[in-house]
Amino acid sequence: MSLSDCRGVPCSTANRSSLDSYERAVELSASYFVDPLAVIDSALERDPEFASGHCLRAGLMVMAADKSVLPMLAESIAAIEALGRRANERERAHAAAARAWMNGDFATSIRRYGEILLEYPHDLLALQIAHVGDFYLGATSLLRDRVAQVLPLWDISIPGFHYVLGMYAFGLEETALYARAEDVGRRAVEIQGRDVWAIHAVAHVMEMQGRLRHGIDWLTEREKDWSVDNGFAFHNWWHLALYHLDLGDTNQVLSLYDQKIRPSRVPLEMVDASALLWRLHIRGVDVGLRWQGLADSWTPFASDGYYAFNDVHSLMAFVGAQRFDLVEKVLSGLERSAAGFGTNAMMAREVGLPVGHAVVSFALGHYAECVDLLLPVRTQAHRFGGSHAQRDFIHLTLVEAALRAGKVRLARALIAERTQLKPASPFNWQLAARACDSSGQASEAAKARDSAESRRKTHADALRANDDAATTM
């Protein structure tokens, strides 16, 4: 007799031990705590025909967005397919979705994972893979609506409900429904304080609204909940660094980079490392030899051509380290991808390749060329994945290039977009002051500088008040 998991999702096994391992690994995957792969590999070693275990292993490989794991993905798909009808309908659907990913048809893969939820809305594994896949594909509305489709069928009595709320919170944030996103995210954290995805969703809200003090407090007060033995900690450290960067505290940013975000060999982590150093670079901050260490970590992926979003971030490291031999490899890989077929071909063609060339143009001081490359792309940049916060490097680079190219009217217009969307950001007002200086409008520049300084002092006063309160407790 086949068993079902704790959410009533059918698994084609009568082995309670295997199912218990599966449950544990699904929990670890959804929470991003380590190490779901080790747990499920152990179960599969004991029970190699455990189809749901192979589904989970395949899902982990899909969510890694790393070409090097494709052999492991192929193994799990083949194991499920070899079982034939001994694997149930849901498990076979997982295999079909994973195979589409392996074949480079990322969009079809994630659509198929989403279709599993129509029949099995409590399949937390399929939901997480589809949600992460929507993120990789830049499917912003689906980040919200795919979760919304199943949300009415979940409640607090179903194990993992808070994970669903956390995913929904992130989707709401990415569609600019900030108040609702924060409410839903906070509710998830109230149910389970170690729901790292929900903590991250609320951090995104505070980043997008420029609530820097709130963001710093939100992450630091919960640091023990998200930073210990968690595979997603690097990204929350990155968010914390962004708050400090907006405040202009580059020493703290560099300290966080060195202690928490330093290069690894995992593409998802290296993306954030590149993005942070690039933000510092375009502000004129000397990051020393950090580019060299990061470039070394990216080197094995230089001719990858697997996922354009990663390729562009590797370019940042290579131009920063002045490794132009590797720059040529990445650009050649993007060109091959753009000329090919599959989801990444579209990503490379429409976004990755022009943004990659723009990064190189900026590094070479060809600022007008950088502007010309980025202007047509910025409104469709979501097509190569990432969050609004992650893709902001494109707009920041465009603004800085426009300022350096002397395109003052364009720069002022672009900066006005930023100050209107996030008026609490001190850095946005500093950009506004620079644009006014460049156009010779001294009085306007002074007003912008005063506005930036006022915001800086407000945050500094809040920091001191917080410190004083802590001291008297």
CA distance 429 to 40: 50
Please give the domain boundaries of the chain with CATH numbers for all domains: 17-138 (1.25.40), 155-255 (1.25.40.10), 406-472 (1.25.40)
Per the listing, tokens 């083949």 go with 78
**Residue given tokens 């599966």 in the structure block:** 22
- Residue 205's identity, in one-letter code, is V
Q: What is the dihedral of CA 206, 271, 223, 196, to 10 degrees?
A: 80
The pLDDT, as a whole number, for residue 304 is 79
Residue 447 confidence (pLDDT): 54
Determine the pLDDT at residue 460. Answer: 45
Contact partners, residue 379, CB within 8 Å, separation at least 6: none
The DSSP symbol for 33 reads: B
Spatial distance between the Cα atoms of 275 and 263, rounded to a whole number of angstroms: 12
Q: Angle 390-396-400 (CA atoms, 0-180°, nearest 5)?
A: 160
Please write the tens of the pLDDT for every residue from 335-390. Answer: 999 999 999 999 999 999 999 999 999 999 999 999 999 999 999 999 999 999 99
What distances in angstroms separate CA 179 from CA 25, 183, 242, 316, 369, one per listed residue? 32, 6, 21, 34, 39
CA–CA distance, 473 with 195 (Å, rounded to integer): 28
pLDDT, averaged in runs of 10, over the chain (473 residues): 94 97 98 96 98 98 95 98 97 98 97 98 98 97 98 98 98 98 98 98 97 97 96 96 97 96 90 98 95 96 90 97 96 95 95 97 97 96 95 98 97 96 94 84 51 50 45 37
Q: Show Cβ contacts of residue 436 under 8 Å, excluding neighbours closer than 6 positions.
A: 412, 442, 444, 445, 447, 448
